Each structure stands twice: as C-alpha cells, then as structure tokens.
C-alpha cells in the first residue's frame, strides 16, 4: 500500500532503516551537532524564554547586570577546565569568534607605520584568516600567507607581524605554538577537553574562544576574546562598537543559560558526554584506517589532561586524511568517487593530497561516513 511517511535523506525501505546505496556521506562542514543529544537530555533546564517587553534597551540596566554575570560564568568555565588564565584579563564578546578574529588583526596592526603589518598563519590553516584579512583590506594590515615560507624569504628581519596560532589546529588537531615570535592571535576554538588533553592554562596576550565548539551552539553566534593589554582591549572593543554597537542581549541571555548548565558538576557531565562521543568516533575511525595503506590519518600522541586527571589521546574535531598513492594527488576526488564529501587540502593552503573530514556532525552523518570509509578500504583490500 501507500507508504505512511517519507524517509529522511539517505534512508529507504518500509521502515526507513536501510541506507540508500548511492547516498554520499557529507563530512565537509564543521557544524558541531554531536552535542545535540546532551542538550536534549537537558532540554528544560537549558531553555530560554524572553517576554516581548524584556531587554529592549541597547544597554543600561540589562546590559550591565547580565553581561557581567555572563563574564563571570565564562571565567568560571575557564577556571574549572583549566584551559586559560582569565584573572586580571579583559573579556570582549563577539558575533561568533569569527568577528573577533578580524577585530584582533585590526587591534594588533600598527597604525602609524608606513607599511602594513604582515598577517600570517602556518599551513595547513583555517581559510577564514586569509579570506577575512583580504576582504577587510586595510592600509594597516595585509595577508602574507604561510609563516614558514615568510621566515625563509624575510631577509629584512621585518618583525611587524600578526601571527594566527590555532591550537588545536583546524584541520589537523596539532597543538601549535608561535613560530615567528611577533604578535600573536591564539585561536583556541578547539581547546576544550573533548578535543584535546588540557595540559595547562593558556596564558597568551590575546586568546579567542567560541561557544560553537564548546557547547555546540554554532548558530547562536557567540565568541569571546581574553586580552592582557588594556590598549589592545580598547581597540577590540572599539571595533565591536563601531561594527555593531555590541552583541545581541538575547544571544547573551541564551549563552548565560547554557553556561550555567555546562558548569554544573564542575563541567564533568558535559565534557564526559562530549569526550566519550569523540573518543568512540576516533576509535572506530582509527580501526578503519588501520586496515588501509592507501589512506592515512594524522598521528595522535597521548598527553596528560589536567581536567580529567588522566593521560589521554586527543580526539580532534577533524580527520586529516592523506592519499598515499603517488598518482592519487587529488584526494578529494578519490573520496568523492567513494561517495564521501570532504574539504580539500588547498582550502587550508595545503596540498590536495590531503582532505579534511568532519567528525563533529550528527551520529547519522558519522555512521554514514564510517560506512562509506569501510567500503572504500575493503575495496582496497579485495585487490581492486
């Protein structure tokens, strides 16, 4: 007879339980939906309701009390996790951490030098650094590309640099440190216990964090900068004021509610949930790649995690896959032929022999990814 309802995208059959054979696994985007089940389990406690008359003002009373409360919870979160020093530091909120990345470039660039400051990052790096710095084209800064090639070409010893240090790195999960020794923007989007062992509190001059990869609420668009120097703080704050007169109070209220939940039990419930999920995904993924010589993924090294008080392997948000066969230099195309969508290495200014696969999407997305990878590797082992 008639089907009762339609199946979701990739599923077929009477009870929608079979995967449709041609359906591609989409591991391209870094949307952190893997945290959704935690928030479903805490649905009532994490809900926010805002009356129509409430918090209408640009600032005034609402602003001060709530934003100060939110700052308090952000500092509390850092002190529970032990991932950043926030005592005596300034905080600035941004629309996602994305907005703060350019605010930081602006704040660290020299204003009255005759030549623009050089903005750099180490390959492979997150593509927005380049896209943003070029888009917000300014007399005060310019994107200069890769730190390593700049180092070897820089005979003039020009140290007017602003270096993006992404730690852990997107795409490969490496805990990076500065290579140029000039001004730095530490992008700590992934510096949370579910992605990496927390070896100690980060203590850099300018550090940027995001709610997106902490609680998974990427759509809320909320990030914060932790800043040591008062002048830099004032410049970042000025950027935010000029750009948008501050961050949505509705957003701040939601973030406050989420963080209040997240710090409960000293963060153990949320980080155990998130870590266990990432560890399970990495165990299954590693097991598939261990049967392959055609594909490899990044090596992981155990470190002591102060938060979990245990030595653990990192469980990065992304697998950084390499196609090992000489002739397979376009790894994205190789995976695409195996019905897997990833993000090609060239997007990270690296070689297309590499592809990034996202491991932080929904469970369905991950299951499909693992199935397609298993098929690809078994093809290799059956001699095809």
Structure tokens at 85: 């020093």
Query: Is 126 or 239 the residue whose CB approaches ligand PMP more closely?
Result: 126
Please report how close the Cβ of residue 95 comes to ligand PMP at its closest, in angstroms.
8
**Nearest to ligand PMP of 339, 358 (CB atom):** 358
Give the span between the Cα atoms of 93 and 71, in whole angstroms: 9
Could you give the dihedral angle defined by the CA atoms of residues 190, 196, 200 and 205, in that order, rounded to the nearest 10 degrees?
-20
Q: What are phi and psi of 59, to 5 degrees?
A: -150, -105
Say which residue the tokens 């870094």 belong to: 30
Least separation in angstroms between CB 170 and ligand PMP: 4
Nearest approach in angstroms of CB 378 to ligand PMP is 32
The minimum distance between CB 296 and ligand PMP, in angstroms, equals 22
Q: Output the smallest distance, CB 94 to ligand PMP, in A.
A: 8
The answer for residues whose C-beta is within 8 angstroms of residue 175's C-beta and 6 or more apart is: 167, 168, 169, 196, 199
Peptide bond into 124 cis (omega under 30): yes
Pick 144 or 187: Cβ nearer ligand PMP: 187
Rounded Cα distance between 9 and 32, Å, is 19
Cross-strand pairs, 39: none
Q: Reduce the DSSP state of residue 121 to 3 states and report it.
A: strand
Tell me the torsion sign for CA atoms 78, 83, 84, 87: positive
Of 10 and 209, CB closest to ligand PMP:
209
Residue 256 CB neighbours (<10 A): 19
**Which residues of this chain interact with ligand PMP, rule CB under 6 A?**
30, 96-98, 126, 166, 170, 187, 189, 210, 212, 218, 223
> Could you tell me the smallest distance in angstroms from the CB atom of residue 281 to ligand PMP?
17
Q: Whole-angstrom Cα distance, residue 172 to residue 71?
A: 31
Distance CA 184, CA 207 (A): 9
For residue 337, the minimal CB distance to ligand PMP (Å) is: 26
Nearest residue to ligand PMP, using CB?
Answer: 96
């Amino acid at each position: 007879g008639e089907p009762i309802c339609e199946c979701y995208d990739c599923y077929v059959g009477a009870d929608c339980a079979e995967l449709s054979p041609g359906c591609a696994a989409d591991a391209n985007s870094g949307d952190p939906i893997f945290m959704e089940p935690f928030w479903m389990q805490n649905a009532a406690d994490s809900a926010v309701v805002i009356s129509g008359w409430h918090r209408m003002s640009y600032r005034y009373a609402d602003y001060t009390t709530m934003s100060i409360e939110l700052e308090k919870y952000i500092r509390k979160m850092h002190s529970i996790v032990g991932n950043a020093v926030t005592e005596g530091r300034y905080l600035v909120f941004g629309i996602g951490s994305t907005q703060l990345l350019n605010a930081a470039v602006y704040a660290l660039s020299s204003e009255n030098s005759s030549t623009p400051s050089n903005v750099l990052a180490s390959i492979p790096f997150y593509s927005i650094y380049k896209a943003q710095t070029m888009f917000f084209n300014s007399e005060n800064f310019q994107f200069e590309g890769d730190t390593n090639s700049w180092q070897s070409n820089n005979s003039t010893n020009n140290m007017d640099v602003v270096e993006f240090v992404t730690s852990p790195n997107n795409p490969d999960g490496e805990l990076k440190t500065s290579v140029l020794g000039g001004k730095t923007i530490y992008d700590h989007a992934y510096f949370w216990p579910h992605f990496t062992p927390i070896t100690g509190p980060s203590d850099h001059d300018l550090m940027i964090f995001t709610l997106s990869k902490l609680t998974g609420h990427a759509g809320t668009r909320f990030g914060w900068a932790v800043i040591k120097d008062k002048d830099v703080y004032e410049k970042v704050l000025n950027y935010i004021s000029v750009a948008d007169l501050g961050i949505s109070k509705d957003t701040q209220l939601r973030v406050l509610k989420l963080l209040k939940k997240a710090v409960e039990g000293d963060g153990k419930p949320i980080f155990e949930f998130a870590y266990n999920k990432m560890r399970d995904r990495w165990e299954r993924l590693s097991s598939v790649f261990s049967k392959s010589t055609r594909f490899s993924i990044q090596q992981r090294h155990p470190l002591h995690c102060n938060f979990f008080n245990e030595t653990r392997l990192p469980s990065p948000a992304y697998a950084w896959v390499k196609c090992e066969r000489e002739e397979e230099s376009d790894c994205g195309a190789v995976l695409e032929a195996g019905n897997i969508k990833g993000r090609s290495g060239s997007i990270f200014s690296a070689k297309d022999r590499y592809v990034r696969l996202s491991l932080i999407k929904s469970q369905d997305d991950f299951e499909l990814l693992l199935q397609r990878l298993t098929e690809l590797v078994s093809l290799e082992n059956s001699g095809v």
